[in-house]
Amino acid sequence: MSPTPLYCAEPARRDTAHRLAERFALPLVRQQPTEGYWLELGPERLELRTNGKHGAVYAEFVEGAARHRREQGGGRGQPVAKAIGLKGAKELPRVVDATAGLGGDSFVLASLGCEVTLLERSPVAAALLFDALERASVDLDTMDIARRMTLVHADAIQWLAAQAERPEAERPQVVFVDPMFPDTDKKSAAAKKGMQAFQQVIGDDLDSAALLAAAIAAATVRVVVKRPQRGPAIEGVKPSAVLEGKSTRFDLYVIKALRPQA
């Protein structure tokens, strides 16, 4: 896939655009592209844009759905929180979100108090996350949550392999995995323009089995895989338990059951 260009029409934001281009190895262009997808840095935020198909896609932790979740969210009873083991937990686990995407799941977990490391290998998604985290870190309502979210632009398979070599007390307790599958449920994919755009720009994650193996080797408590309700489990290790949500399923890989000596 050819690299996604970055365009900025705002003279006041050109320095920021240069820094983003350098940090995420994005080609900075002088003209707004007329086809395909491009990143555009506007006066307020960084967006992934295209002509026609759908509106701009961006990561957002302050307004919109994130605000709603912050104010009305289901607390530790919501499915993703239950899946990572928050319900009834005395201590909050150190979580690694191995497939951060637009950061929605990481944000929920950080809102509930977890320290979350967000791993993202796509420069486009990592740049969108970086921009959203910068905005969240200067807003009074979200700065504490943003402080608990650490973005790492890296391939999770390699990053987790390095973690597996570290002492147990320093390794992630929970690794959360939500890859893009070629089989993604068409109805929900259409509803989520963000993921539709990602499918075009990033493509499917065809190495999920290797990612699951790396996650299991690194985690000390559990690995959680998010899947569409009727999607197949990731190939390889069988889940130890399954938690069904309305449209989403969580496959749980409990480390003590898989690696009894841990």
- Which residues are known binding-site members for S-adenosyl-L-methionine? 120-121, 178
- Which residues sit in the known binding site? 120-121, 178
What's the rounded Cα separation, in Å, for the pair 89 and 52? Answer: 47
Minimum distance from residue 200 beta carbon to ligand SAM (Å):
12
Among residues 80, 83, 95, 99, which is the contact residue for ligand SAM, using CB under 6 A?
99
What's the rounded Cα separation, in Å, for the pair 198 and 41? Answer: 18
What's the rounded Cα separation, in Å, for the pair 191 and 196? Answer: 9
Minimum distance from residue 120 beta carbon to ligand SAM (Å):
5
For the record, the structure tokens of 121 come out as: 């290998």
| Residue 211 interacting with ligand SAM (CB under 6 A) | yes
| Residue 79 interacting with ligand SAM (CB under 6 A) | no
- Which helix (H) or strand (E) segment holds residue 196: the answer is helix 193-201
Phi, psi of 257 (to 5 degrees): -75, -35
Nearer to ligand SAM, 105 or 251 (CB): 105
For the record, the structure tokens of 139 come out as: 């807003």
**Segment near ligand SAM (CB under 6 A), from 73-81, 100-108, 143-151, 229-237?**
100-108
| Residue 185 interacting with ligand SAM (CB under 6 A) | no
| Residue 172 interacting with ligand SAM (CB under 6 A) | no
Among residues 179, 218, 227, 251, which is the contact residue for ligand SAM, using CB under 6 A?
179
Minimum distance from residue 97 beta carbon to ligand SAM (Å):
7
| Residue 156 interacting with ligand SAM (CB under 6 A) | yes
CB atoms within 10 A of CB 240: 15
Quick check: 224 and 81 in contact, CB under 8 A?
no
Query: Nearest-CB residue to ligand SAM?
Result: 101
| Residue 60 interacting with ligand SAM (CB under 6 A) | no
Among residues 121, 148, 222, 227, which is the contact residue for ligand SAM, using CB under 6 A?
121
What's the rounded Cα separation, in Å, for the pair 39 and 6? Answer: 5
What's the rounded Cα separation, in Å, for the pair 151 and 194? Answer: 19
Tokens 């147990």 appear where?
Answer: 168
| Residue 122 interacting with ligand SAM (CB under 6 A) | yes
What's the rounded Cα separation, in Å, for the pair 82 and 88? Answer: 9
| Residue 105 interacting with ligand SAM (CB under 6 A) | yes
**Segment near ligand SAM (CB under 6 A), from 110-118, 165-173, 195-203, 217-225?**
195-203
Contacts for 210 with CB less than 8 Å, ≥ 6 apart: 157
Minimum distance from residue 125 beta carbon to ligand SAM (Å):
4
